Structures are given as structure tokens and as C-alpha cells.
Amino acid sequence: MALLELKNLSVNYGAIQAVQGLNLEINSGEVVTLIGANGAGKSTTLRAISRLLKVREGSIIFDGREITGLAPDAVVRMGIAQSPEGRQVLARQSVLDNLELGAYVRKDRAGITNDISRMFQLFPRLEERKQQSAGTLSGGEQQMLAIARAMMSRPKLLMLDEPSLGLAPLIIREIFSIIRNLNAEGTTILLVEQNAKLAMQHSHRTYVLEAGQITFTGSSQELLSDDRVLHAYLGG
């Protein structure tokens, strides 16, 4: 059974219909990529799943439960965490406080402390800077913090919105190897990227979104060698 299922999902962004009749499935343990041009509706889809945007039509089913009408905090409690686009770390607060906030829905003090040290193992650079305010970190470090913060709620599904945005190639490679590690440890990942080729190389399956609708879907391997996709999205 799919961990997350979007059925005929339509979402409006203001007056604009940003996503129309979208169907998408993510199985446990997968890394799924959602690619598409600017304004295709990728971030809108993520925000609808996080319940930050109202769903106009269709349903979102997570872990066998309908979550379409739930509040954002209920969704986080159920095990969906989002690392938002542009990182959005809380710049004035310390790295440690940001991580604590990521675990806001949890009450198990010992588990939280444990997970913070686990995040520091995964991201040693964050440990060196744990008392610094997050705004003083480099772009790559902020991205790491955003991912670590999302992981602090112990999600079953981690949604990453443009993790490569504005980062140097070397850092991007580091981020993607971390994403791969998180997946290997059992976290299911929904990845939204403009850097299509890289994202497809690091995912099992890919959905291509165009003007609010899915135009291609399939295994990332196949799509990577598909001429049409190659031509439209990978500049080949």
C-alpha cells in the first residue's frame, strides 16, 4: 500500500488554479522526484500535502488515513515533515533552537536529545556551529539545518523543496548524498527540484509536472533516457 496517495488533487493559489487533477503515489522507502518548470505547481503540491494550502478538490491519503481536512500540526504529528523552499531557517535563533523547534510536536525529552546528537553526527558542521544564530550560517549549512530540523519530528515522509537552490555544486553533491543516507535509513522522501537531472539520478521514480498537471511518470532511470523528457527538461 502506498504511504502517500494524491487522488485527483486540485489546488488554487489565490485566483490561479495551480494544480489540477493531480494523481501521485509514494510507496514506503522510496525517493520520488517531482520535477517541472517554474510555476508548474511543485511547491503548491507540497504545501497542499503539509496542509498549508486549502485543497479545492480531490483527496490526500497518508498512511491509510484521509488527511485532506487536517490542520498543519496534525499532519506533522502523523509523520510528514517539510523542508521549505529557500530554507527558511529561523535566522535569529541558534542552530540548537532551530532543531528543538523541529521536534515541537514531540514530548519525549530523551528521544529529542538523542535525535539532536544523531543529527550532529549526520551534519558535523552543524555541531560546530550549534550556538551560532542560524542566519550566520552559509547557504549550504542552512540547507543542512533545514533538513535536520525537518528530520527532528521523526517523519515517515520527508518533503524537500528545492534543496539545491542557490548552492555550489560541491555542496549540492554533499546534500544529495545525505538525502540518500536518510533514505537508506528508512525515511521515504518526496523531492521537488528544478535541477532535474541530479534529482532523477538520486530517486527511484519521477513525476513530471507541467502547468499543474502530470505529463510523464515512470522510473527515474527510464525517464533519464527518454528523449522527450531529456529534451524538455534536461537541456539535451
Residues that bind other proteins (CB under 8 A): 50, 52, 71-73, 75-77, 82, 84, 88, 90-93, 97, 100-102, 104-105, 149, 153
Residues near 185 by Cβ (< 8 Å), separated by ≥ 6?
none
Q: Which helix (H) or strand (E) holds 183?
A: helix 169-184
CB of 209 to other proteins, least distance (A): 21
| Cα Rg, the chain, nearest whole Å | 17
Residues in the chain: 236
CB of 217 to other proteins, least distance (A): 26
- Select 80 or 198, whichever has its Cβ closest to other proteins: 80
CB of 233 to other proteins, least distance (A): 27
- Select 105 or 171, whichever has its Cβ closest to other proteins: 105
- Select 74 or 184, whichever has its Cβ closest to other proteins: 74
- Select 36 or 84, whichever has its Cβ closest to other proteins: 84
CB of 46 to other proteins, least distance (A): 10
DSSP string, 101-149: HHTTT---HHHHHHHHHHHHHH-HHHHHTTTSBGGGS-HHHHHHHHHHH
What cell numbers appear for 14 in the block? 489565490
- Select 40 or 49, whichever has its Cβ closest to other proteins: 49
Widest Cα–Cα separation across the chain? 52
What cell numbers appear for 59 in the block? 483527496
Give the span between the Cα atoms of 143 and 87, in whole angstroms.
6
CB of 72 to other proteins, least distance (A): 5
Give the span between the Cα atoms of 69 and 78, in whole angstroms.
13
The three-state secondary structure class of 53 is coil
CB of 159 to other proteins, least distance (A): 10
- Select 28 or 88, whichever has its Cβ closest to other proteins: 88
